[in-house]
Amino acid sequence: MALYIFLLSIGASFVQRTTGFGFGIFIMTMLPFFLPSYGEATALSGLLAMTTSLPIVWRLRRFICWQRLWVILLTFIVVSAVAIFWLTSIEDQLLHIILGCVLVLTSIYFAVFSQRIKLPATRSVQIGAGGLSGLMGGFFGMQGPPAVLYFISSEPSKEHYMAMAQTYFLIGNAMMTLVRLYNGFVTPAVLDGYLYGIGGVALGTMLGAYVFSRIPTRLFRYIVYAYIGISGLVMLF
């Protein structure tokens, strides 16, 4: 198990560093197979994702605008907490099937529609994006897609987008970790997995920084989308 978690952490942090999102989406394609329960897999994903986001937030902290962040973030925190409480009453097998569907739909969305959809930075859009992101984060540990779509559409520069998105992920994952701790999902197996994965996060982040300027980002993203879609199909069949 240790080797698999280490390798998954390398891949997920590599994707996060090169594209600005995707840690939870990538790692949750396989992580549920290596931990005793689905809730524990989401807990480990959140802990490792926090480790990935923290240095990015610190480096870009001057680009954070709390006035544009607090509504979507607060909505996310409330909805994700409710989803985590629901998680205790849903069978793991059903969650595997639902996650498979979500992964396939996510890969199709990013490959086909993400560049065509632009969201206005209105209060209703912030609440909608935060709510949908909260459901995906609470149930599956992958709150990225709705939030990424909102921040890409609303932020004036790449630096603002990265700072706002990673701050959102960092605080959101911290709050979800507290709720998961309360619900008993942060277990010794999760803490062991974190120790296995932390080295992978550091290595994947360094590799992502090295590769970022050396391959076409668009090509790399489509490779990631294909991997996500195929992983979803494997879960379904």
pTM score, two decimals?
A: 0.82
**Helices (DSSP H) in 20-157: which residue ranges?**
23-27, 38-59, 66-87, 92-108, 123-140, 144-154
Residue with the bigger pLDDT between 118 and 33: it is: 33
Beta carbons of 45 and 27 less than 8 angstroms apart: yes
What mean pLDDT comes out for the span 7-29? Answer: 84
Confidence of residue 92 (pLDDT cuts 50, 70, 90): confident
Q: 73-77, 81-85, 215-219, 230-234: lowest mean pLDDT where?
A: 215-219
pLDDT greater than 70 at residue 53: yes
Q: How many CB atoms lie within 10 A of CB 230?
A: 14
Q: Token pair 């949908």 is at which residue? A: 132
Beta carbons of 51 and 174 less than 8 angstroms apart: no
How high does pLDDT run on average in the chain? 85
What mean pLDDT comes out for the span 67-75? Answer: 93
Beta carbons of 125 and 143 less than 8 angstroms apart: no
CA distance 16 to 34: 21
Helices (H) and strands (E) in the chain, counts: 10, 0
pLDDT tens digits, 142-179: 787 788 878 877 888 878 888 998 899 999 999 999 99
Share of the chain above pLDDT 90, in %: 36
pLDDT tens digits, 107-146: 887 777 766 666 677 888 899 989 988 988 888 887 877 8
The CA radius of gyration of the chain, in Å to the nearest whole number, is: 16
Vertex 49 angle, CA 67 and 103, to 5°? 95
> Residue 58: is it exposed, middle or buried by C-beta count within 10 angstroms (0-12/13-18/19+)?
exposed
pLDDT at 201: 93
Q: How many CB atoms lie within 10 A of CB 237?
A: 6
- Name, in order, each residue with C-beta under 8 angstroms of 109's C-beta and a sequence gap of 6 or more: 145
Beta carbons of 178 and 157 less than 8 angstroms apart: no
Confidence of residue 5 (pLDDT cuts 50, 70, 90): very high
Q: Token pair 């607090």 is at which residue? A: 70
